[in-house]
Amino acid sequence: MRKVTRSYKKRIINIASVIAACLFMCFAVSLIQYGRSSVHAGSYAVKLNGNLIGITGNTQAAEAAIKEAKQKIAEESVSIVFSEINVEFEELKDKESVSDSDENELETAIYNALKNEKENISNGKPAYEVKIGELTVTLSSKEEVIQLLEKAKENYDTDHTFSVDLVENSDGQTVSWIPNIEKTEIEPNLNNAIFASMDTITVPDVIEMDKEESEESEKKDNEILSLEFSEDIEVMETYVDGDSIDNLESAVKLVTDTRKAESVYEVQDGDCLFSISREYNLTVPELLTMNDNLSIDSVLEIGDEVNVTVPKKELSVVVKKEEIYEEDYKADIVYVENDSMYEDDEKVIDRGQAGYIEVTAVVESVNGTEINREILEETVIKEAKPKVIEIGTLAKPTFIRPIIGGITTSGFGARWGETHLGHDWGISTGTAVMASREGVVLSSEWNNSYGYNILVEHNDGTQTRYAHLSELLVSKDDIVTQGQKIALSGNTGNSTGPHLHFEVIVDGNQVDPLDYVSEY
C-alpha cells in the first residue's frame, strides 16, 4: 500500500465565503492535483486527519464533491475558523474488495468531516501563534506577542528608541500580522523613564535636564539608525486548547536564549585542528566527534569543510548604528633616495608621529556581533607626521670566490680557543689567486703571521685580504679589476699547510666571507 500524506494549516477568515475557501483550498487542490498526476487506474482511500472519508479513483468526481461540500460550509459559516487538516491518500491494491464512493457519498463525507473539525476547533480558546522561521510559540494575546518581541530587542535598544507594533497582512483570503519596528517619537531619555522598572527616574526630572548636558550627551551617544528582526515572523489568530498556550516568560527564554547550531567552516591557509577548535570555543576531541572523517593526525587542506558549532538565537536582531569615534592614524611613509647607499639598505631619519581622526561610520551587527562597518566620513583632528626613511640607490656590489677549486680546511669563527677571522681553502702552492672585487691595493707585502698577503680596498670602504701567498703579482696603489690574477697561493707565515686565507672586512671588522662568496 502506498501512502501519501499532506498537512495543511488553515488561517483566519472573517467572511463566510472565505472561511470555506481557507478550509478546503489546500485539500481540494491537493486532491485534484494528486488525482491528475498520480491517480491512474487504481483507487485511493481518502483520509481526513486519519479518518477514512471515502474512496476515489475519479478526479472529476472528487473535484465536484469538494466544491459542493465547500459551498455548503460557506453558506453556514458566520464566524472565524482556524483548522489543521491532514489529508492522506492510500492506494488500494485489491480493487475488487472495495468500490469507489459516488459523488454524493464523497461530498457528504467531506462535508461532515470538515463540519466536525470546525465545531471541535470552535470550542478551543482564542490565541495567537507566532511563527519565527521553523519555531512556533502560542501566546494568549497580541499584547503578549508585542511584549515577546520587545523583550527580544531590548538588549540592543537599551534606550527604547524603537517600538514594535503588529501590522495586518491580508491577501484577500487569509489574515495575519507581521511586526513593524519604528523609531519612537518620544525622546530616548523619556523612554528610559517610562520603561524603567524602578521609580527612581521621573518624567519631570528628565524634562528638567540641563540642555547643554543633554546636547553634549547626544553628541557622544551612538545613534541607532535602524533595528529589525532577521527572521521572517508571522502572527496568526487561532483556537487552541488552553494547555497549548505558552507562558510568556518561557516563550521569551526560548526565543532569546543562545544555543549551539551546526555550521560548516571552510579551511583557510594556516588552519589546523587546534586553531579551528579554539576559534569556535571547542576542544579538539569535541571537533573530532563532530567530524567522523577526521582524526588527530589529519592534515587539513585549503578548501576542506569542517563541521563546527556557532552560537545562534531563534530570533536575531539586526541593528544599524551610526558611531562617531576617534582613532589614531599614521601618515604614509616618506622615502628619500640616497645615492651613496646600496639598494635594499635603508635608514630611518625621522620616526614620525601618529595623528588622530574623528570617524563617522555605520556599523551593522547581528545579536551584538559586528558583521559590517561602512565608513561615512573621516575628519582629521591632529595631523600625523610621516616617518622618513632613507633608501639606497647604488647597485649592491658582488664578490667572487678568489680561487678555483680548493677544499675548506677552516671556517670563520671560533678555533683553538680564538677567533679565526677568515675562511681557509686548502689548495696546492702556486694556484692563481684573483681579486674578489675591483679596488685599490692598500698593501702587498710580508705581514708576520699572514706571511705574504695583499689587502685590497673597494669603493664602498669594504676590504678583502688574501694571505699565506707564495708570490705577489701587484703592488701598493695598483688598481685591480674583479677576477684579475693578483697572486699565487702558498704556505708562508703562520700556516699548517698550503692554503689561501681569505677575509672580508666591513667597517673595520672581519665578517664571515661565506656571507659574500660561495664555499665551493
- CB burial of residue 404 (10 Å; 0-12, 13-18, 19+): exposed
CATH number of 407-515: 2.70.70.10
Tally of CB atoms within 10 A around 381: 10
List C-alpha distances in Å: 22 to 11, 103, 137: 6, 22, 22
Are 400 and 502 a contacting pair, CB within 8 Å?
Answer: no
Contact criterion met (CB below 8 Å) for 469 and 447: no
CB atoms within 10 A of CB 516: 20
Please report, rounded to a whole number, the percentage of residues in the chain having pLDDT higher than 70: 73
> Domain residues of the chain, as ranges?
3-123, 128-246, 252-313, 321-394, 407-515
With cut-offs at 50, 70 and 90, classify the pLDDT of residue 219: very low
Contacts with 32 (C-beta within 8 Å, 6 or more apart), sequence order: 59, 62, 63, 66
Please tell me the CATH code under which domain 252-313 is placed: 3.10.350.10
Residue 14 has pLDDT above 60, yes or no: no
Arithmetic mean of pLDDT, 361-382: 93
Say if residues 369 and 311 touch (Cβ distance below 8 Å). Answer: no
pLDDT computed for residue 434 by the predictor: 98
Protein fold of 321-394? Resuscitation-promoting factor rpfb fold (2.20.230)
Q: Is residue 464 over pLDDT 70?
A: yes
C-alpha grid cell for residue 231?
Answer: 527572521
**Helix (H) or strand (E) segment spanning residue 306:** strand 305-313
480 pLDDT tier (thresholds 50, 70, 90): very high
Among 152, 142, 328, CA closest to 227: 152
Largest CA distance in the chain: 131
Q: In this structure, what are the phi and psi dihedrals at residue 465, rounded to the nearest 5 degrees?
A: -120, 140
**From CA 259, how far away is CA 371, in angstroms rounded?**
19
For 111, phi and psi rounded to 5 degrees?
-60, -50
Query: Which range, of 43-52, 202-211, 357-366, averages the lowest pLDDT?
Result: 202-211
Is the confidence at residue 371, as pLDDT, over 60? yes
> Left if phi > 0, otherwise alpha if psi is -120 to 50, otherwise beta: which for 504?
beta
141: nearest Cα among 25, 71, 237, 227 = 237
What residues have CB less than 8 Å from 108, skipping those under 6 apart?
69
Provide DSSP, 22-42. HHHHHHHHHHHHHHHHT-SSS
Report residue 205: phi and psi, to 5°: -60, -40
- Mapped onto helix, strand or coil, the DSSP state of residue 236 is strand
Residue-wise DSSP of 97-153: G-----HHHHHHHHHHHHHHHHHHHHTSEEEEEEEETTEEEEES-HHHHHHHHHHHH
Residue 65 · residue 107 · CB < 8 Å? yes
Quick check: 84 pLDDT over 70?
Answer: no
Q: What is the DSSP secondary structure assignment for residue 12, as one 8-state letter?
A: B
Write the pLDDT tens digit of every residue in 272-319: 999 999 888 889 998 998 899 999 989 999 999 999 987 788 899 999
Residue 86 has pLDDT above 60, yes or no: no
Give the H/E segment covering residue 375.
strand 369-382
Predicted pLDDT at 218:
45
